[in-house]
């Protein structure tokens, strides 16, 4: 996919920096609009995705209030936290972004399910219920089972760390007493088991058949079967259909501890599909230097450790994330934006980054740090003016949001990516109109 000549110099209209959820979404939306796009980024971050698409589940954070209706939650959030990135978006924009994103996934065989515009709950590997907005095919039956508290068999596997059917059943027994569990050996595995190996093994029909044979004796009195998220990487629908036919019962996955197979599936989909849509991709590469040229365009050096490619772009979307994605860095004094040294919203001194209690119900001030933007998602200078008319930001690098505690990570990434691409498209149209009339 990355067959580019060393020290090649290429040009593009738009460069997306980042290969997490926001970066992949921005690249998809740009490709859908036939914008000449280059994407650069290390795709490790998306491997940690649960596969669930959150919109908004918790507000206010200190009270931990869970919302059944995410639209009502967003409306209240915007009233009470007007600096939150959602406040720069309409619900129509947010919903259009999610629709375009999930329509793409459906077309490439990775469908998502919505529950009549409501949040739903799914089991997690630690025995809690995760509130989310849209669930992938592999977890859809699980959300139904949770809602109805159906009798289910939870299957775990010897040697697989981080997933215990017994723990899930014990933790949930008051809320969901109809859960049973069984621990089995996974076909063709001895010793420690790894989810990626198991998922790839299930792409083979004989391994699926062996798994079904091992589970079948334990089905009496249950209506569904829950398994860890190991049901393939490329052929998940086929594997689910095979197991459901062999067992005579619906099957569902339970999202596991990251890094996860669910995130790997998304990564594989985007890495495979985006180049077919005309995107030039530089995955597992980083931007090593960034400069704004006199004509207003951007010049980047991109590579693994040493510069390999120079890229000139008319516009940029920063989707580099916070600390994990290396969009932000921190030293003993302050938090800095890594590429352009943009101003970062943050507490005045490091002593105010954290509360005294590690598990403070309201989270820590550092969780709200990031780039402040205008209505077009252009990062602002210290004077509160756009740093550059074609520099945009999307996703978790944005300030005034705590996506982990608010359970809005995917929705925030997708919706702000959609808005950033639309802002660039509008600006381009305006420039063309001005040129034609001027």
What does the pLDDT look like over 313-359, one tens digit per residue?
999 999 999 999 999 999 989 999 999 999 999 998 998 999 999 98
| Tokens matching residue 416 | 């702000």
Sign of torsion over alpha carbons 358, 59, 334, 318: positive
Residue 75, CA atoms < 13 Å, CB-side half-sphere: 6
pLDDT at 98 over 70: yes
Instruction: Round the average pLDDT of the chain to a whole number and report it.
Output: 94
Per the CB < 8 A criterion, the answer to whether 49 and 260 are in contact is yes
Q: Of 204, 233, 261, which residue sits at a domain end?
A: 261
Q: Is the pLDDT of residue 436 over 70?
A: no
Residues 240 and 376 in one domain: no
Nearest to residue 412, comparing CAs of 46, 24, 86, 65? 86
Is 168 domain-assigned? Answer: yes
Q: Indicate the SS3 state at residue 336.
A: strand
Q: What is the pLDDT of residue 165?
A: 96
Count of Cβ atoms closer than 10 Å to residue 424 Cβ: 28
pLDDT score at 49: 86
13: left (phi over 0), alpha (psi -120 to 50) or beta: alpha
Is the Cα dihedral 82, 85, 89, 93 positive or negative? negative
State CA 63 to chain mean position distance: 25
Residue holding tokens 């690249």? 27
User: In this predicted structure, what is the pLDDT of residue 210?
Assistant: 97
pLDDT at 189: 84
Q: 90 lies in a domain? A: no
Mean pLDDT of 418-435: 84
Q: What is the pLDDT, as a whole number, of residue 27?
A: 98
**In whole angstroms, how large is the CA radius of gyration of the chain?**
23
Residue range 260-275: average pLDDT?
94
Average pLDDT over residues 61-83: 96
Q: Which residue has the tokens 């063309």?
A: 432
**Is 314 in the same domain as 248?**
no
Q: 282-324: per-residue pLDDT in tens? A: 999 999 999 999 999 999 999 998 999 999 999 999 999 999 9
Please check the confidence at residue 39 and state whether its pLDDT lies above 60. Answer: yes
| Domain CATH code at residue 172 | 3.40.50.1860
Report CA-CA distances (Å) from 342 to 232, 386, 393, 398, 400: 41, 11, 11, 12, 16
Sign for the CA dihedral angle at 188, 190, 193, 196 comes to negative
Q: Would you state the pLDDT for residue 408?
A: 97
* Cβ–Cβ under 8 Å, residues 14 and 32: no
Q: Cα 111 to the chain's mean position, in Å?
A: 15
pLDDT per residue as tens digits for the range 358-377: 989 899 999 999 999 999 99
**Bridge partners of residue 379, in order along the sequence:** 373
The verdict on residue 211 lying in a domain is yes
DSSP 356: S
Instruction: Tell me the two tokens of residue 331.
Output: 């030293």
Among 413, 324, 426, which residue's Cα sits nearest to residue 54? Answer: 413
Structure pTM?
0.95
The pLDDT value given to residue 44? 74
> Considering 261, 277, 293, which residue would you say is the last residue of a domain?
261
Number of domains in the chain: 2
Cis peptide before 293 (omega within 30 of 0): no
Q: Are residues 137 and 243 in the same domain?
A: yes
Tokens for 243, please give them: 């197991």
DSSP 170-199: HHHTTT-TTEEEEEEPPTT--SSB-HHHHH
Q: Does residue 370 lie in a domain region?
A: yes
**Which among 242, 261, 280 is the end of a domain?**
261
Question: Is 316 inside any structural domain?
Answer: yes
CATH number where 44 lies = 3.50.50
* Full domain range(s) for residue 334: 7-49+309-356+366-390+415-428
Q: Is residue 215 part of a domain?
A: yes
The larger pLDDT score, comparing residue 431 to residue 294, is at: 294
Per-residue confidence (pLDDT) for residue 432, from 0 to 100: 62
3 state SS of 294? coil
Task: Say which residues have a Cβ less than 8 Å from residue 357's Cβ, sequence separation at least 6.
Answer: none
Q: How confident is the model at residue 46 (pLDDT cuts 50, 70, 90)?
A: confident
- Read off φ and ψ for residue 132, nearest 5 degrees: -145, 175
Residues 183 and 319 in one domain: no
* Distance in angstroms (rounded) separating the CA atoms of residues 119 and 66: 10
Identify the CA nearest to 314 among candidates 300, 302, 328. 300
């Amino acid at each position: 996919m990355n067959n580019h000549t060393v020290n090649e110099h290429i040009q593009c209209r738009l460069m997306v920096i980042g290969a997490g959820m926001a970066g992949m979404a921005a690249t998809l939306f740009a490709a859908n609009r036939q914008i000449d796009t280059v994407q650069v980024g290390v795709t490790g971050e998306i491997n940690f995705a649960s596969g669930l698409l959150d919109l908004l589940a918790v507000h206010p954070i200190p009270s931990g209030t869970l919302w059944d209706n995410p639209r009502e939650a967003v409306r209240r959030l915007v009233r009470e936290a007007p600096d939150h990135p959602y406040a720069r978006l309409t619900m129509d924009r947010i919903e259009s972004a999610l629709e375009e994103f999930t329509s793409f996934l459906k077309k490439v065989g990775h469908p998502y399910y919505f529950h009549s515009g409501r949040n739903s709950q799914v089991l997690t590997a630690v025995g809690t219920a995760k509130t989310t907005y849209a669930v992938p095919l592999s977890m859809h039956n699980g959300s139904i089972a949770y809602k109805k508290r159906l009798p289910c068999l939870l299957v775990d596997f010897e040697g697989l760390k981080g997933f215990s059917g017994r723990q899930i059943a014990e933790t949930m027994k008051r809320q969901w007493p109809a859960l049973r569990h069984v621990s089995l050996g996974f076909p063709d595995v001895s010793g420690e088991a790894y989810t990626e190996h198991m998922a790839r093994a299930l792409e083979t029909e004989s391994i699926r058949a062996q798994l079904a044979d091992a589970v079948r004796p334990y089905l009496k009195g249950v209506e569904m079967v829950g398994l860890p998220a190991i049901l393939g990487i490329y052929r998940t629908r086929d594997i689910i259909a095979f197991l459901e036919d062999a067992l005579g019962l619906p099957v569902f996955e339970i999202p596991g501890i990251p890094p996860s197979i669910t995130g790997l599936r998304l990564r594989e989909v985007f890495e495979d599909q985006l180049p077919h849509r005309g995107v030039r991709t530089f995955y597992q590469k980083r931007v090593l230097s960034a400069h704004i040229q006199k004509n207003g365009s951007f010049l980047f050096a991109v590579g693994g450790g040493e510069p390999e490619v120079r890229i000139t772009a008319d516009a940029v979307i920063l989707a580099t994330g916070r600390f994990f994605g290396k969009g932000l860095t921190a030293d003993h004094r302050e938090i800095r934006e890594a590429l352009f040294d943009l101003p970062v919203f943050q507490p005045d001194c490091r002593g105010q980054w954290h509360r005294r209690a590690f598990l403070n119900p309201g989270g820590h001030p550092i969780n709200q740090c990031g780039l402040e933007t205008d209505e077009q998602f252009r990062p602002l200078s210290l004077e509160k003016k756009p740093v550059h008319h074609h520099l945009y930001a999307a996703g978790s690098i944005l300030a005034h949001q705590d996506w982990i505690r608010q359970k809005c990570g995917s929705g925030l990434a997708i919706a702000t990516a959609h808005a950033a691409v639309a802002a660039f498209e509008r600006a381009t149209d305006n420039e063309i109109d001005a040129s034609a009339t001027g």
